A = this chain, B = another copy of it.
Amino acid sequence: MNRIFRLLLAGLATVLTVGCATSNRQPLPEPLTLSEQGSFFVGGRDIRSEALSSSPNWARTGTITKEQMYVRYQVPARSTKVPITLIHGCCLTGKTWETTPDGRMGWDEYLVRSGHPTYVVDQVSRGRSTADPSAINDAKLGGAANDKIPTLFFASHEAAWAIFRFGPEYPKVFPGMQFPLESIGEFWKQMVMDWNLSLPNPNPNILAISQLSQRLKRTVLVSHSQSGILPFQAAALHPDSVAGIVAIEPGACPATGEPLQPYRGLPILVLWGEFVDASPFWAPRLKQCREFVAAANRAGAQAELVMLSDVGFAGASHMLMQDRNSLEIARWLDSWLDKRVSP
């Protein structure tokens, strides 16, 4: 059992023993010491728009910068491990990796405490990475047909419930499912409207992730769900800066017909929770990833597909980085990284 996890358990035991916990938030085992933290942007380009505003108080015409990606990072005082980049999924932001809905430590801090410089991004057009209102303003101002309005969506509680595999359908719950549903209200607040279907092709997130990887020299790209394909595409652009890929329940793995050469020698982990076969949405994606892993290995990758239930974690939801046992899963992942990715 590694040091940080032992300390966390000790902290938890203390709380349980003295019985003074007033919320789910556990006291930290020891202070967190950082050599550095901060935030910056990667990617982005300037464009000129004639529809920046539908308010008379702001100019309609001018230059804006868009398609940049916000990155927040922390470097532990004793940084001994490979930098990790955490990339959230659909309808969410970098908040995914922070404090869980029930108030426990997020993977962002766990990984820093374990020795990894850790980078959390907001995908282009979500969170602190802006979207562009020009096409919407054009419709409001009468300059464009409404079919030019971007395709926007917001996953309802009811729809998200099944996609995140809290249960087969809202509000049924899979038996033994590990997501802390007593705090679901805080989770719903994490969800944001999603512009992803309106992004240009190629998706600017690919270039931004590749630029971030090159800036860091070498990083493990950890994706979740909708972002699953992006690290593979970024690695294809610039393989040398990608130290490994961890795809957590990816929306898609690379097609086996695509060139698999960029993944030669690359440690790849495709990680899945439970109840996947019960999900018409996820079951075919698991199958497609199995095919990719086999093909990638034939092409020289070091790819592995792991069902969490096979390594001791029953009941993992699609939001497994927020499940009740999220830090135990993080510890398992950290150990996988120690073994498979050179520091």
Q: Which residues of A contact B (CB under 8 A)?
A: 25, 28, 31-41, 44, 46, 49, 52-55, 57-59, 61-65, 68, 70, 72, 77, 93-95, 98-99, 103, 105-106, 109, 122, 127-128, 130-134, 136-137, 139-140, 142, 146-147, 149, 151-159, 185-186, 188-193, 197
Cα-based distance from A230 to B127 in the complex (angstroms) = 22
Identical copies of this chain, number: 2
A-B contact pairs, 12 of them (CB 8 A): A38-B109, A52-B155, A54-B153, A55-B151, A59-B158, A63-B158, A65-B188, A95-B128, A128-B128, A133-B154, A133-B193, A139-B149
Judge whether A122 and B128 touch: CB under 8 Å: yes
Verify A41–B186 contact, CB threshold 8 A. yes
7 tightest A-B contacts by CB?
A: A62-B156, A53-B153, A38-B99, A41-B189, A133-B152, A130-B192, A65-B188
Query: Do residues B188 and A154 form an inter-chain contact, with CB atoms below 8 A?
Result: no
Given A55-B197, A128-B128, A140-B149, A156 and B34 touching (CB < 8 A)?
no
Given A105-B38, A191-B130, A156 and B99 contact (CB-CB distance below 8 Å):
no
B185–A128 touching, CB < 8 Å: no
Q: Are B40 and A156 in contact (CB under 8 A)?
A: no
Chain B, residue nearest A73 (CB): B99
How far is B94's CA from A267's CA once the two chains are assembled, in angstroms?
Answer: 36
Cα–Cα distance between A154 and B57 once the two chains are bound (Å): 11
Q: Which residues of B contact A99 (CB under 8 A)?
A: 38-40
- Shortest Cβ gap from A220 to chain B (Å): 22
- Per the bound structure, the CA–CA distance linking A92 and B90 in Å amounts to 23
CB contact under 8 A between A61 and B156, given known A98-B39, A193-B133: yes
Interchain CA distance A65-B99 in the complex, whole Å: 19
A101 to chain B minimum Cβ distance, whole angstroms, is 9
Asked if A31 and B35 sit within 8 Å, CB to CB, the answer is yes
Q: Contacts A136-B136, A157-B63; is A36 near B28 (CB within 8 Å)? A: yes
Q: Are B140 and A193 in contact (CB under 8 A)?
A: no
**Which residues of the partner chain B approach A139 to less than 8 Å between Cβ atoms?**
139-140, 146, 149
A95: nearest chain-B partner, CB-CB:
B128
Give bound CA distance, A93 to B127, whole Å. Answer: 9
> In the complex, what residues of B have CB within 8 A of residue A106's CB?
38-39
